[in-house]
Amino acid sequence: MYKYLFGPVPSRRLGMSLGVDLVPYKTCTFDCVYCESGKTTLLTRERDAYVPFNEVKEEIDHFWAHHPDPDFMTFSGSGEPTLNSDIGRVIRYIKSNRPDIRVAVLTNGSLLGDEQVQQDLMTADLVVPSLDAALAKSFTRINRPCDGIDMDTYIGGLASFSAAYPHDLCLEIFILPGYNDTSEDFVRLGKVVRQINPSRIQLNTLDRPGIIKSLRPAMPDDLEKAKTYFKGYDTQIIASVKDQPNDKAFRKDMETAILETILRRPCTAADLASVLGETVERIETCLAGLRSADRIESVVQDRGKFYQIKKDHEVT
Ligand code: SF4
């Protein structure tokens, strides 16, 4: 069992992705109202060697020695990865020893104006910063940043990183009804996106309950409307499949997606829920259907029940 690595999990966006978590649980520059990891326990913008570099390196070496190389190694987890002052060292270690493994960094973007952070991330293949609001009042209400991070510095940092970064910069915008979905919000977001000029944009919304129970996800129509404010940019909607119609065609698509996913590597129901953006309950319903059709089988391992394709079946 690793302390700093998690997965690998198959991801539609990244292929087989191994997670690297470089900060202790809920160490973050933000305390987002929708955070799936719960309340931030250490709200800070101080960079530090929050976990020992040598221990991370040992785990990475152990993983490489005992598993096939993943497609991506992705810095994410339950906090802000750029808070770790050794992130650049870890990225360089990966790139110098396994140049074929691509490196992704999922970040809230709040430290991207820092010159050292910029240098640290320069060799990553993909950086996915989030931007939820471009009006100060919405930013404060959604992201609840620590003292010392204000809207203008934050956006300026994103823009300066984007101007210097030579690889794929995918801006993720999280739409939260009642928090950042007025016309004023979208007009301002549209302007700021042009200032940042990312390679592409992903629009996302709530998938699981946040720490405030009244939060609700944006509907597909809301996301389509939001998309119109980012004309000229490659904008993808990462809509939760649970908002799609619950008809037979949808169910068949989901079963096919499950089969395609576990064909590459056995997964638990929770892995599948995370990869396919679906609730565990609905994944389990589809798994039950596939089991009764004799398409899949399960094996119990340390991390729980893993589902795999039944040997004498192929994905159609
Ligand atoms: S930036 Fe990410 S980890 Fe930090 S509070 Fe927001 S959602 Fe949670």
- Tens digit of pLDDT for each residue in 188-204? 999 999 999 999 999 99
Ligand 1 lined by 207 (C-beta under 6 Å): no
126 φ/ψ sector (left φ>0, alpha ψ -120 to 50, else beta): beta
Q: In the predicted model, is pLDDT for residue 111 greater than 80?
A: yes
Type of residue at 315 = V
Tell me if the bond preceding 209 is cis, omega within 30° of 0. no
Mutate to test the pocket of ligand 1, among 34, 35, 82, 132 (most ligand atoms within 8 A of CB): 35
On whether the CB atoms of residues 187 and 221 are closer than 8 A, the answer is no
Report the relative pairing of strands 72-75 and 15-20 from DSSP bridges. parallel
pLDDT digits (tens, 9 = 90+) for 19-43: 999 999 899 999 999 887 788 999 9
Can you tell me which residue has the tokens 């802000």? 80
- The tokens describing 226, both together, are 């939001």
Confidence category of residue 15, pLDDT binned at 50, 70, 90 = confident
Ligand 1 lined by 77 (C-beta under 6 Å): no
- The tokens describing 211, both together, are 């720490």
Confidence category of residue 208, pLDDT binned at 50, 70, 90 = low
Rounded to two decimals, what is the model's pTM? 0.78
- The tokens describing 209, both together, are 């309950």
DSSP assignment of 107-160: E-STTTTSHHHHHHHTT-SEEEEB---SSHHHHHHHH-PPTT--HHHHHHHHHH
Ligand 1 lined by 124 (C-beta under 6 Å): no
Type of residue at 112 = L
Rounded to the nearest angstrom, the gap between the alpha carbon of residue 42 and the centroid of all alpha carbons in its chain is 20
Mutate to test the pocket of ligand 1, among 108, 158, 173, 204 (most ligand atoms within 8 A of CB): 108
Confidence category of residue 312, pLDDT binned at 50, 70, 90 = low
C-alpha to C-alpha distance for 215 and 16, rounded to whole angstroms:
31
Across the chain, what does the average pLDDT equal? 87
Q: Which DSSP helix (H) or strand (E) runs through 204?
A: strand 200-205
Task: Spell out the domains of the chain, with CATH numbers in brackets.
Answer: 5-239 (3.20.20.70), 248-309 (1.10.10.10)
Confidence category of residue 54, pLDDT binned at 50, 70, 90 = very high
**Angle, helices 280-292/248-264, rounded to nearest 10 degrees:** 80
Sign of CA dihedral 17, 20, 25, 26: negative
Rounded to the nearest angstrom, the gap between the alpha carbon of residue 211 and the centroid of all alpha carbons in its chain is 18
Q: What is the pLDDT of residue 300?
A: 82
Return the SS3 of 263: helix
On whether the CB atoms of residues 88 and 121 are closer than 8 A, the answer is yes
On whether the CB atoms of residues 77 and 20 are closer than 8 A, the answer is yes
Provide CB contacts within 8 A for 49, sequence distance 6+. Answer: 84, 85, 86
C-alpha to C-alpha distance for 38 and 164, rounded to whole angstroms:
33
Return the SS3 of 43: strand
Query: Considering only CA atoms, which of 190, 179, 192, 186 is closest in space to residue 144?
Result: 179
Q: In the predicted model, is pLDDT for residue 284 greater than 90?
A: no
The dihedral over CA atoms of 223, 226, 232, 236, expressed in degrees to the nearest 10, equals -20
- Ligand 1, closest atom to CA 29? 4
